[in-house]
Amino acid sequence: MSLTTRFAPSPTGPLHLGHAYSALLAHDMARVAGGRFLLRIEDTDTSRARPQWEELIYKDLAWLGLTWEEPVMRQSDQLELYHTALEQLATRGLVFPCSCRRSDIRAALSAPQEGAPLAPGVYPGTCRHRPMRERKQGDAIRLNMRAAVQDIEMPEFTETGPKHAESHQLDPERLILEIGDAVLGRKEIETVSYVLASVIDDAAQGITCIIRGEDLYQITFLQVLLQGLLDLPTPEYHHHRLIRDDHGKRLAKRDDARAIAKYRAEGATPQDIRRMVGL
């Protein structure tokens, strides 16, 4: 099977050196393997996605010397598919509506818990008993993790990145305690969470290897579970090291000082960028 990979930025700010590394690495790996390199615009967060950032993504990537297949997939064109997937999970009783606010969740987590302790930030299950037909405007949709891990045989995935290179079998107990009832549909009725949208699109684009930053390694366990639940193929994963600033902090979208556009304006060449990220 030939390698098909993608770069999937969210148009919520300028691309920085970390994005450049991810895109260049994925592009180079595809070219070396004689495979395909695709681009996907992850614009489901309508409160932050902007057309000017999308335009800048095309400009930055072209300037770096990358080429990709047209047409580019945009998540805002795919909403129907996401809703169908959510409905499928709802029919099987694997999701529930949730009206908890952050403060409700904090309060519930500070009360004494029964059983094994949940990892920090894991949803305490307050709304888990609610059926989907009672979903109200403004409710999020969460995966019922306890039901989900009983619904399928635990899938596995192969990681080839430098840090966790091996086969990983999903462990139901860890999924319950460390990930829990993840949000799949957001409060705004139209939007699904990135974790679900991305899984559906990787399958739709025929991605065989996902090359992305180490910061997304943990979420892979949830995404592989979703692939199992939705009967989608599991690609191979390659999580690469993160590009950090001089203080060792990983770069964020608001880190405009390291924006590719800024280096370009200052006269840097694409080769300079490759050198800066260690390629």
Q: Which residues bind ligand GLU (CB under 6 A)?
A: 8-10, 42, 198, 212, 216
Name residue 158's beta-bridge partners.
Answer: 167
Q: How far is the CB of 223 from ligand GLU (least distance, A)?
A: 8
In the complex with ligand GLU, the residue whose CB is nearer, 144 or 198, is: 198
In the complex with ligand GLU, the residue whose CB is nearer, 196 or 273, is: 196
In the complex with ligand GLU, the residue whose CB is nearer, 96 or 157, is: 157
Q: How far is the CB of 253 from ligand GLU (least distance, A)?
A: 8
In the complex with ligand GLU, the residue whose CB is nearer, 18 or 180, is: 18
Q: How far is the CB of 2 from ligand GLU (least distance, A)?
A: 20
Q: How far is the CB of 69 from ligand GLU (least distance, A)?
A: 17
Q: How far is the CB of 6 from ligand GLU (least distance, A)?
A: 8
In the complex with ligand GLU, the residue whose CB is nearer, 139 or 201, is: 201
| CA neighbor of 243 nearest in space, from 6, 3, 22 | 22
